[in-house]
Amino acid sequence: MSATDDQIRHVIERYVALVATGTAAEITALYAEGATVEDPVGSDVLTTREQIHAFYATLEGLEQRTRLIEARIAGGQAAFLFEVATVTPDATFVLAPIDVMTFDDAGLITSMRAFWGPADMTTA
Choice between 34 and 117, CB closer to a second copy? 117
Among this protein's residues, is 6 annotated catalytic? no
120 given a catalytic annotation: no
Using the rule CB under 8 A, which residue among 17, 68, 98, 108 binds a second copy? 98
Under 8 Å between Cβ of 36 and 112: yes
Which is the catalytic residue, given 31, 39, 56, 99?
39
Buried b / exposed e over 10-21, threshold 16 CB at 10 Å, is ebbeebbebbbe
Sole binder of a second copy in the list 73, 84, 109, 112 (CB under 8 A): 73
CB closer to a second copy, 16 vs 22: 16
In sequence order, what DSSP letters do the residues of 12-31 get, joined into one string? Answer: HHHHHHHHHH--HHHHHTTE
CA angle 18, 57, 55 (to 5 degrees): 100
d(C-alpha 80, C-alpha 37), whole Å:
15
Residue 1 or 119 having the CB closest to a second copy = 119
Active-site pick, 15, 31, 56, 99: 15
CA distance 92 to 12: 24
User: Which one of residues 77, 92, 110, 111 is an interface residue with a second copy (CB under 8 A)?
Assistant: 77
Residues in contact with a second copy by the rule CB under 8 A: 5, 40-43, 70, 72-81, 96-98, 100, 114-117, 119-120
Q: Which residue numbers are catalytic? A: 15, 39
